[in-house]
Amino acid sequence: MGMHSFHYQNGSLHCEDVDLVSLADTHGTPAYVYSANTIRDHYGRLDQALAEIDHGIEYAVKANSNLSVLKLLVEEGSGFDIVSGGELRRVIEAGGDAGKCTFAGVGKTREEIEYALAEGIYCFNAESEEEVVFIDKVAGEMGKVAPVAFRVNPNVDAKTHKYISTGKSENKFGVDFASIDDAYARASKLANVRLRGLQMHIGSQLTSLQPFIEAVEKVAPLAVRLKDTYGIEFFSIGGGVGIVYDSALESGPTEWWSDQDEDQRPLTISQYAAGVVPVLKETGLKILLEPGRYIVGNAGVLLTRCLYEKKGSAKTFRIVDAGMNDLIRPALYEGHHDIVPLRESTGESSMVDVVGPVCETGDFFCQDRELPDFAPGEAIALLSAGAYGFVMASNYNSRPLPVEILVDGGEARVIRPRQTMDDILASEKSAMLS
């Protein structure tokens, strides 16, 4: 879970064997850079940790949906958890199989349901009875039987940021635990759906084991009951395993974070497995996991260049060429990203705010943080930016989307070119008032 593919070598930060100083010079900034071997490694660790139970990994596409990232995971044998028809299209374009995809989300449209049915989706993970009734109707019209699971809301506190907590009764997600038996009973009477599984997902960036255990222990008996009554075949326990955002470089490849504060200490994947596997094994069901952040979060960085240092009366601002439109996590979730210069620090440091060029007060990457010195003209890296980074980028302030680069060993490949202003303007120009 550490960022072990990012390290200093000969005085400059490298991703695997690629020097990020020259990469930033060649491709410009802002630029997302991902490590292929970190992605493979995290996938493999999770797969290994679950080896003793029948399981499947459904990578949560929304965390990072670049076609080459998906392709790499197809090659590892991954299935995919999607939240839109667009994500299904991406999986298929990347060579993935709809028959290994689960379809989550509270607001699936007719078009999305038809598309997923036509492609042969493994299962719709439905979030309400109303949705299942509608899926039944659409499937009937198409002469198909739709595989369906309900997402149960176990009413467990994930103890994460309120915007990424999903498993409490007051959240919009899933069917209340108290109503779930009735929901299955009614759905079992529908002619065009087949009850295939049970799903839950209690939140994202969980850094303690206890909420996972609480949820699994609460829901496993229900899963067994549904297996006995309706013959369901899988129980998906969702994603949500947290990663290291603080001191990510130092945390390394090992699974020990003893020097971390209690609430910053990430959950290791072996602790996670040791906690949930014994309970899950007893169910006799196929267990699905939907990791997003765990697979790609620490596999990516955002490179940006310092434009100016502005010394105000109260603060020193380092203004960089990436903004909240490129990486919105700090503004949206108060997300922390470590910031390091690409040239290894000489040891000097100072207290600064690192801010972007966007016209919003929320456009900052850190405030009042002691950072190793870097000067205008120098490039820096925002670490742990592989998940919920590029996928949330926008054209706000008419800023083109950054380039995405995948590093594999000594090779760096552009997997999405930097957007141009011509790209941005094309559709508007053809539709412009004359």
Ligand X SMILES: *Cc1c(COP(=O)(O)O)cnc(C)c1O
Catalytic member of 15, 101, 306, 359: 359
| Site for ligand X contains 238 (CB under 6 A) | yes
Among the listed residues 50, 60, 152, 287, the single contact to ligand X using CB under 6 A: 60
Contact between 239 and ligand X per CB under 6 A: yes
100-159 positions binding ligand X, by CB under 6 A: 104
* CB of 291 or CB of 400, closer to ligand X: 291
Element (H, E) at 79: strand 79-82
Q: Report in angstroms the alpha-carbon separations of 174 from 38, 134, 395.
A: 32, 16, 32
Answer for the pair 410, 383: CB distance below 8 angstroms, yes or no: no
DSSP 251: H
| Min CB(289)–ligand X separation in Å | 9
**Binding string to ligand X for residues 394 to 433, with x set by CB under 6 A, is what?**
----------------------------------------
Give every CB contact of residue 432 below 8 A, 6+ residues apart in sequence: none
Q: Which is nearer to ligand X, 151 or 399 (CB)?
A: 151
If the CB atoms of residues 154 and 292 are measured against ligand X, the closer one turns out to be: 292
Query: Contacting ligand X (CB under 6 A), which of 63, 82, 116, 138?
Result: 63
Would you call 144 exposed, middle or buried from its count of C-beta atoms within 10 A (0-12, 13-18, 19+)? middle
Tell the smallest beta-carbon distance from residue 270 to ligand X (Å): 17
Task: Supply 160's token pair.
Answer: 């994460």
CB-based contact 270:294 (threshold 8 Å): no
Question: What are φ and ψ of residue 262, in 5° steps?
Answer: -50, -45
Which residue, 292 or 300, is less far from ligand X as judged by CB?
292
State yes or no: is 359 an active-site residue. yes
**What is the per-residue binding string for ligand X in 263-292, x denoting contact by CB under 6 A?**
---------------------------xxx
Gyration radius from the chain CA atoms: 23
Do 379 and 304 touch, CB atoms closer than 8 A? yes
- For the bound state, the minimum distance from the C-beta of residue 139 to ligand X, rounded and expressed in Å, comes to 21
Tell me which residues in 353-392 interact with ligand X (CB under 6 A): 387
Q: Least distance from C-beta 273 to ligand X, angstroms?
A: 15
Beta partners for residue 126, in sequence order: 150
Bridge partners of residue 32, in order along the sequence: 302, 404
CA dist 259 and 223 (Å) reads 38
Cβ proximity to ligand X: between 319 and 332 the closer is 332
**Beta carbon nearer to ligand X, 104 or 219:** 104
Query: Which listed residue (19, 41, 81, 353) binds ligand X by CB under 6 A?
Result: 81
Task: Please work out the total of residues on this chain that contact ligand X, with binding judged by CB under 6 A.
Answer: 16
Q: Which of 27, 90, 265, 293 binds ligand X (CB under 6 A)?
A: 293
Residues 193-212 that bind ligand X (CB under 6 A): 201, 204
Q: What minimum distance in Å lies between the beta carbon of 240 and ligand X?
A: 4
Q: How many of the other CB atoms lie within 10 Å of CB of 423?
A: 13
CA distance 330 to 245: 12
Report helix, strand or coil for 148.
strand
Q: Which residues contact 182 (CB under 8 A, 6 or more apart)?
A: none
Please identify, using beta-carbon distances, which residue of 14 and 293 lies nearer to ligand X.
Answer: 293
Q: Name the E strands within 229-315.
A: 234-236, 286-289, 300-311
Contacts with ligand X, 216-235, as mask; x by CB under 6 A: --------------------
CA-to-CA distance for 272 and 210, rounded, in angstroms? 9
CB of 18: closest distance to ligand X in angstroms? 26
Q: Would you please indicate which residues are annotated as catalytic (active-site) residues?
A: 359
Contact positions vs ligand X (CB under 6 A): 60, 62-63, 81, 104, 201, 204, 238-240, 290-294, 387
